[in-house]
């Protein structure tokens, strides 16, 4: 599943679909290259600009692990970046401090982003994996009044 | 720039101090350590060398042995020459990380000053900790005295760091009997020792920012087996490099080491196989028996416990009639490890000599020359009878009723 700011390589294959080679061809010590070619200054590049290697998890999708998914509502979000900070799988895509959406190739549906979202109503809510995104947004709850 | 240490041609060093000096001369980048008897003086003395300016490197005191080996793994993956020391319970706590180090192919040098494992708690020397490490994927070299502890440390860096090996190496010495007994040691001059060890050559180092790498990846049933097989092959193939490094060391120093040491084995009709300081006891006993009773006794010892020298053990022992393997570790419901492995090697020979097993010296119990001679004479009796006349596994130096297990079916 391709998503926000995706490159050709992000989630381009199922985890475990790589070519299986024999013991004589595996890398010594399971030391895995993160990027193809020279990666000097890679820290200054955005994920979608980086040439991730075949064995980087970035190029594999694990979307099938998820049974519920977070849905993002741009109309309510205040771009506080809380979800970006807390996401344990770097699956909140944000550029120039503006929240863009969710990397559904790597999101495991843990719901942490929903928990930490401070808006009322929340800008992220969990829905069933099969739920259509437009239908999910159509059912968004109203603002709750504060109880005294 | 590290200060030069003026070593004499002959120094009076115990095994620990000899090992500490070898580590200093190798100019290690990181030593991460936690003290434990009887290996403490190795890192204590090394720390003093660092404090006095004799080492250009980091000395990291950590909160446990698990952390010590973890620090070594991190520093080695980062691309440095790394070493530490431990014993017994500390070694046991390190165990999880030992497998990580070998699986990641990191050439760390670990001095293990052999000591019994609790319970009951015991600080004396036996080989329980050395045996605990035998499936960990490390190269294991065994020193019988202080000189060898020094020499094998220098060799260990050369072997482990060799680009076709890249595996961690343990250098074992017996707790107290070697580690705390001052003996004459002939060290190399600092510059000669370093020239022998050579500069550290980083390989796939994490500090190469142009080529970021992941250490410690997860593999399941689709990849794990191939990686472990490749690692095992590297360990098996290290035999040739060990021979090469030992040969080079002999050229530099005149001191010869072999993966299997044998003494008076050429004409031997019976033999003892042992590890550690017991080898020297057995050599004395064998000489005396040859003089006193004309029994042709030989002594054989795997200097290199891992990779197990299946080939060389077979060569050394295939013409002997009866062999006793001495295991200084409680075998926990099996025959001793040395017995099992030596027997397996000899089973593929034409002659299939008689092999018996003694468990001895647990928790530092003394093993005397007289007892070694008694065991040798017992092997002579097996050889003359053509079958094993006692139980196959027996206990040496144990109080109480005679304890033994299993009888031969070859009579």
Contact A39 B209 (CB under 8 A): yes
> How many other CB atoms are found less than 10 A from the CB of residue B266?
10
Contact A30 B219 (CB under 8 A): yes
Average pLDDT, chain B: 97
Q: Chain-centre distance of CA B411, in angstroms?
A: 36
**Strand, coil or helix: B171:** strand
- Is the Cβ–Cβ distance between B159 and B199 less than 8 Å? no
B215 chain-A contacts, CB cut-off 8 A: 29-31
> What is the rounded radius of gyration, in angstroms, for the C-alpha atoms of chain A?
18
CATH class of A13-138: alpha beta
- Is the Cβ–Cβ distance between B211 and A39 less than 8 Å? yes
Sequence-ordered list of residues with C-beta below 8 angstroms from that of A9, at least 6 positions apart, any chain: A51, A52, A58, A59
Confidence at residue A1, expressed as pLDDT on a 0 to 100 scale: 41
B100 chain-A contacts, CB cut-off 8 A: none
Question: What are the structural domain ranges in chain A?
Answer: 13-138
pTM tops 0.90: yes
CA–CA separation, B41 vs B394, rounded Å? 35
How near does any CA of chain B get to the CA of A40, in Å? Answer: 4
Q: Which of A13, A24, A29 to mutate to test the interface with B (most CBs of B within 10 A)?
A: A29
Token pair, residue B314, equals 């077979």
Contact residues of A toward B, CB < 8 A: 16, 20-24, 26, 28-35, 38-40, 42, 55
> How many other CB atoms are found less than 10 A from the CB of residue B397?
14
Nearest to B79 by CA among B269, B223, B213, B237: B213
How near does any CA of chain A get to the CA of B104, in Å? Answer: 4
CA–CA separation, A144 vs B4, rounded Å? 75
Share of chain B above pLDDT 70, in %: 100
Mean pLDDT, rounded, for B147-154: 98
Q: Which of A17, A31, A47 to mutate to test the interface with B (most CBs of B within 10 A)?
A: A31
Query: In B233-296, which ranges are E strands?
Result: 260-263, 270-273
- Is the Cβ–Cβ distance between B308 and B341 less than 8 Å? yes
Confidence at residue B247, expressed as pLDDT on a 0 to 100 scale: 98
- Residue B213: which of A23, A34, A42 has the nearest Cβ? A34
- Residue A26: which of B212, B213, B223 has the nearest Cβ? B223
CA–CA separation, B387 vs B158, rounded Å? 44
**Strand, coil or helix: B261:** strand
Mean pLDDT, rounded, for B101-114: 98
Contact B227 A24 (CB under 8 A): no
How near does any CA of chain B get to the CA of A46, in Å? Answer: 16
CA–CA separation, B343 vs B345, rounded Å? 5
- Is the Cβ–Cβ distance between A109 and A69 less than 8 Å? yes
Nearest to B184 by CA among B5, B6, B9: B9
- Is the Cβ–Cβ distance between B86 and B39 less than 8 Å? yes
Beta bridge partners of A101: A93
Mean pLDDT, rounded, for B146-167: 98
CA–CA separation, B191 vs B400, rounded Å? 55
In chain A, whose CA is at the least distance from the CA of B209?
A40
- Residue A22: which of B209, B215, B226 has the nearest Cβ? B226
Contact B215 A16 (CB under 8 A): no
Put simply, whether B108 touches A (Cβ < 8 Å) is no
Mean pLDDT, rounded, for B163-180: 98
- Residue A32: which of B214, B220, B229 has the nearest Cβ? B214
How near does any CA of chain B get to the CA of A68, in Å? Answer: 25
Put simply, whether B106 touches A (Cβ < 8 Å) is yes
- For the cut 70, the answer to whether the pLDDT of residue B391 exceeds it is yes
Instruction: Name the B residues in 194-213 with CB < 8 Å from any A CB.
Output: 204, 209-213
Beta bridge partners of B185: B11
Q: How confident is the model at residue B1 (pLDDT cuts 50, 70, 90)?
A: confident
In chain B, whose CA is at the least distance from the CA of A52?
B212
Token pair, residue A82, equals 């809380």
Q: What is the pLDDT of residues B222-231, one digit of tens each?
A: 999 999 999 9
DSSP per residue, A49-88: GS-B-TTSGGGEE-GGG-SEEEEE-TTT-----HHHHH-T
Kindly give the confidence (pLDDT) of every residue in chain A, 148 residues in length, as a single tens digit, with 9 standing for 90 and above.
Answer: 446 888 888 998 988 888 899 999 999 999 999 999 999 999 999 888 999 998 888 999 999 999 999 999 999 999 999 999 999 999 999 999 999 999 999 999 999 999 999 999 999 999 999 999 999 999 999 988 877 7
Mean pLDDT, rounded, for B104-119: 98
Contact A34 B227 (CB under 8 A): no
Whole-angstrom CA distances from B27 to B82, B95, B190, B234 are 9, 26, 10, 26
CA–CA separation, B322 vs B339, rounded Å? 12
User: Quick check: bond before B119 cis, omega within 30?
Assistant: yes
Q: How many Å is the maximal CA-CA distance in chain A?
A: 69
Which phi-psi region, left, alpha or beta, contains residue B80 (left: φ > 0; alpha: ψ -120 to 50)?
A: beta
Confidence at residue A59, expressed as pLDDT on a 0 to 100 scale: 93
DSSP per residue, A118-135: -SSS-SEEEEETTS-HHH
B103 chain-A contacts, CB cut-off 8 A: 29-30
Beta bridge partners of B365: none
Nearest to B377 by CA among B294, B265, B283: B294
All structural domains of chain B, each given as residue ranges with its CATH number in brackets, are: 11-200+217-253 (3.40.50.970), 262-405 (3.40.50.920)
Confidence at residue A3, expressed as pLDDT on a 0 to 100 scale: 65
Which residues in B16-30 are b (16+ Cβ under 10 Å) and which e?
bbbbbbbbbbbbbbb
More confident residue, B95 or A96: B95
Mean pLDDT, rounded, for B12-32: 98
Contact A23 B227 (CB under 8 A): yes
Contact B204 A29 (CB under 8 A): yes
Query: In B169-313, which ranges are E strands?
Result: 169-174, 183-185, 213-214, 260-263, 270-273, 297-302, 304-306
- Residue B210: which of A21, A22, A40 has the nearest Cβ? A40
Whole-angstrom CA distances from B91 to A121, B96, B375 are 55, 10, 31
- Is the Cβ–Cβ distance between B373 and B285 less than 8 Å? yes
> What is the rounded radius of gyration, in angstroms, for the C-alpha atoms of chain B?
21
CA–CA separation, B191 vs B5, rounded Å? 10
Put simply, whether B101 touches A (Cβ < 8 Å) is no
Q: Chain-centre distance of CA B118, in angstroms?
A: 20
Which helix (H) or strand (E) covers residue B83, if one does? strand B82-86
Q: What are phi and psi of B307, to 5 degrees?
A: -65, 135
- Residue B217: which of A22, A30, A35 has the nearest Cβ? A30
């Amino acid at each position: 599943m391709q998503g926000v700011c995706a490159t050709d390589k992000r989630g381009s294959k199922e985890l475990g679909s790589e070519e299986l080679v024999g013991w004589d061809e595996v890398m010594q010590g399971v030391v895995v290259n993160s990027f193809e070619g020279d990666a000097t200054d890679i820290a200054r590049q955005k994920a979608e600009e980086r040439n991730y290697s075949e064995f980087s998890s970035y190029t594999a999708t694990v979307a099938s692990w998820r049974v519920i998914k977070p849905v993002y509502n741009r109309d309510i979000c205040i771009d506080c970046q809380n979800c970006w900070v807390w996401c344990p799988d770097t699956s909140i895509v944000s550029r120039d401090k503006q929240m863009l959406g969710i990397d559904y190739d790597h999101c495991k549906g843990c719901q942490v982003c929903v928990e930490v979202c401070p808006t009322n109503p929340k800008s992220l809510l969990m829905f069933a994996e099969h739920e259509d995104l437009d239908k999910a947004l159509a059912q968004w709850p109203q603002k709750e009044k504060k109880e005294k | 720039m590290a200060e030069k240490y003026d070593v004499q041609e002959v120094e009076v060093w115990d095994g620990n101090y000899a090992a500490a000096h070898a580590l200093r001369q190798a100019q290690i980048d990181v030593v991460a350590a936690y003290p434990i008897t009887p290996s403490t003086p190795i890192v204590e003395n090394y720390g003093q060398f660092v404090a006095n300016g004799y080492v250009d490197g980091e000395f990291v005191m950590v909160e446990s042995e698990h952390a010590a080996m973890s620090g070594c793994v991190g520093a080695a993956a980062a691309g440095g020459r790394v070493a530490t020391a431990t014993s017994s319970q500390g070694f046991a706590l390190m165990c999880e990380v030992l497998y990580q180090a070998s699986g990641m192919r990191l050439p760390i040098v670990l001095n293990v000053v052999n000591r019994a494992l609790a319970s009951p708690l015991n600080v004396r020397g036996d080989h329980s900790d050395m045996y605990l490490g035998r499936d960990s994927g490390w190269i294991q070299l065994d020193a019988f005295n202080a000189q060898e502890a020094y020499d094998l440390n220098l060799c260990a860096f050369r072997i482990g760091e060799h680009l076709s090996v890249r595996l961690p190496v343990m250098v074992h010495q017996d707790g107290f009997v070697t580690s705390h007994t001052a003996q004459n040691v002939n060290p190399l001059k600092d510059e000669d020792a370093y020239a022998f060890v050579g500069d550290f050559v980083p390989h796939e180092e994490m500090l190469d920012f142009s080529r970021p790498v992941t250490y410690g990846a997860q593999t399941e049933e689709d990849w794990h087996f191939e990686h472990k097989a490749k690692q095992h092959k590297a360990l098996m193939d290290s035999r040739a490099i060990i021979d090469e490094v030992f040969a080079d060391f002999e050229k530099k120093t005149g001191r010869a080491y072999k993966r299997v040491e044998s003494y008076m084995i050429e004409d031997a009709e019976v033999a003892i196989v042992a590890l550690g300081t017991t080898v020297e006891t057995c050599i004395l006993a064998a000489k005396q028996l040859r003089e006193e009773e004309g029994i042709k006794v030989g002594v054989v010892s795997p200097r290199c416990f891992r990779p197990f020298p299946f080939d060389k053990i077979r060569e050394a022992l295939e013409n002997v009639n009866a062999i006793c393997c001495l295991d200084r570790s409680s075998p926990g419901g099996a025959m001793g490890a040395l017995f099992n492995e030596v027997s397996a090697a000899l089973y593929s020979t034409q002659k299939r000599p008689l092999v018996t097993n003694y468990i001895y010296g647990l928790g530092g119990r003394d093993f005397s020359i007289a007892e070694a001679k008694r065991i040798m004479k017992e092997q002579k009796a097996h050889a003359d009878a053509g079958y094993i006349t006692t139980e196959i596994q027996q206990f040496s130096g144990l109080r109480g009723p005679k304890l033994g297990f299993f009888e031969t079916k070859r009579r």
